[in-house]
Structure 1
């Protein structure tokens, strides 16, 4: 009988310790969900999108999106080149590129007030180091 009481007491102490340990080490995990608004743009709609100027000249193509602290910090444009040879990459401010969706045509467009020559003369971005593909 004495052994049974010791066994029951031991089990009670051990289960209380296990419960206390679980209760003190668990933390509540908060998950945050957002809803995409009709005015939002997916990056998949931007990649390979031609950029034109007001003269309707193709001046580049969006190749990548630069993110900083969860916000779009720039667009990497490909300027010049042919079939991937001789491409010159530059990073431009997202404020400099007006991205638009035409409901009638169901097409995306990007407009930037500059020339291809001005983009070619801009500081070059290189896919290397931490930005290697």
Structure 2
């Protein structure tokens, strides 16, 4: 049997490599998204503890109270800032009636206290919230 010439062997190897689909194992160690290499970092999370946290879908629409148990607004939304710190803000709806004339304000989520399924902004009043700059969603 005659052995293949080096050029023919190289051509055959290139042909086979283009016809054989890549498997996930062949890409191991190189994560790619839209063709760009990605750095993936793993962090262990206590999923049991996390599951007892506060879901945004359950907080939206919740009444917000002050330390005197006065209703001072409702949670309209939660937003994660686009900056590097990824701070979370609660968008509160203050005033208005049936959604008309409402005033939206942003407060740091960490300022809210959530106990016994009640959202509390202890030192706030409707007037103090209405005095904050109005929040408007970007287009």
What's the TM-score once normalised by structure 2's chain length?
0.66
Change (3 A) 1:91 1:15: farther
Distance in 2 (alpha carbons) for counterparts of 1:14 and 1:99: 67
Structure 1: stretches of 5+ with no match in the other structure: 103-107
What is the TM-score with the length of structure 1 in the denominator? 0.69
Moved more, 26-35 or 87-96: 26-35
Shift >3 Å, 4+ stretches: 12-15, 25-34, 69-72
* Structure 2 CA distance for aligned equivalents of residues 70 and 44 of structure 1: 23
**How many residues align structurally?**
117
CA RMSD of aligned residues (A): 3.3
Q: CA deviation at 1:118?
A: 0.4
- In the other structure, the counterpart of 1:98 is 113
Summarize the Cα distance change of 1:36–1:70 in structure 2 as closer, same or farther, 3 Å threshold. farther
Matches of residues 31-70 of structure 1 in structure 2 within 5 Å?
A: 34=45, 35=47, 37=49, 38-68=51-81, 69=84
Q: Between Structure 1 and Structure 2, which shows a larger proportion of strand residues?
A: 1
